[in-house]
Amino acid sequence: MEPTRTGRGRRRVVPSAALAVAVALLGVTGAGTGYVTAPLSLATWPVSSSASGDTGGEAGVDGADGTAEAAVDHDALLAEAMTAVPVPDGAEVSVAVLDPDSGRAASYGAGPFETASIVKVDVLATLLLRAGDEGRELTGEETAQAAAMIEHSDNDATSALWRTIGGAQGLDAANARFGLRETTAGEDGLWGLTRTTARDQITLLRQVFVAKGSLLDADARAYVRTLMGRIAEGQRWGVSAAADGSAWALKNGWLRRSTTGLWVIDSVGRVTSGGREVLVAVLTRGGATREAGISLAEATARAAVGVVA
Confidence class for position 12, pLDDT limits 50, 70, 90? very low
41 vs 208, residue with greater confidence: 208
Across 30-34, 82-86, 144-148, least confident range: 30-34
Is 219 inside a domain boundary? Answer: yes
The residue ranges of DSSP E strands in 131-236, in sequence order, are: 195-196
CB 273 within 8 A of CB 305: yes
Tell me how far CA of residue 287 lies from CA of 43, 105, 189, in angstroms.
30, 27, 25
Is 27 inside a domain boundary? Answer: no
Calpha distance 122→125 (Å, rounded): 5
Domain tally, the chain: 1
Is 9 inside a domain boundary? Answer: no
Is 133 inside a domain boundary? Answer: yes
Which CATH number characterizes residue 211's domain?
3.40.710.10
Domain range for 84: 42-308
Is 121 inside a domain boundary? Answer: yes
**Contact residues for 83 (Cβ-Cβ < 8 A; gap 6+):** none
Calpha distance 200→308 (Å, rounded): 18
What local confidence, expressed as pLDDT, does residue 39 receive? 35
CB 183 within 8 A of CB 200: yes
Is 163 inside a domain boundary? Answer: yes
Tell me how far CA of residue 205 lies from CA of 53, 109, 209, in angstroms.
17, 19, 6
What φ, ψ does residue 141 adopt, rounded to 5°? -65, -45
Q: Are strands 263-273 and 276-287 parallel, antiparallel or unpaired?
A: antiparallel
**Contact residues for 280 (Cβ-Cβ < 8 A; gap 6+):** 95, 96, 97, 98, 202, 239, 242, 268, 269, 270, 271, 301, 304, 305
Give per-residue pLDDT as tens, 230-285: 999 999 999 999 999 889 999 999 999 999 999 999 999 999 999 999 999 999 99
pLDDT exceeding 70 applies to what percent of the chain?
77
Tell me how far CA of residue 151 lies from CA of 223, 225, 263, in angstroms.
12, 11, 21
Give per-residue pLDDT as tens, 97-143: 999 999 999 999 988 999 999 999 999 999 999 999 999 999 999 99
CB 25 within 8 A of CB 233: no
Is 10 inside a domain boundary? Answer: no
Confidence class for position 70, pLDDT limits 50, 70, 90? low
What local confidence, expressed as pLDDT, does residue 130 receive? 98
What local confidence, expressed as pLDDT, does residue 180 receive? 98
Is 23 inside a domain boundary? Answer: no
| Helices and strands counted in the chain (H then E) | 8, 7
**Contact residues for 200 (Cβ-Cβ < 8 A; gap 6+):** 46, 175, 180, 181, 182, 183
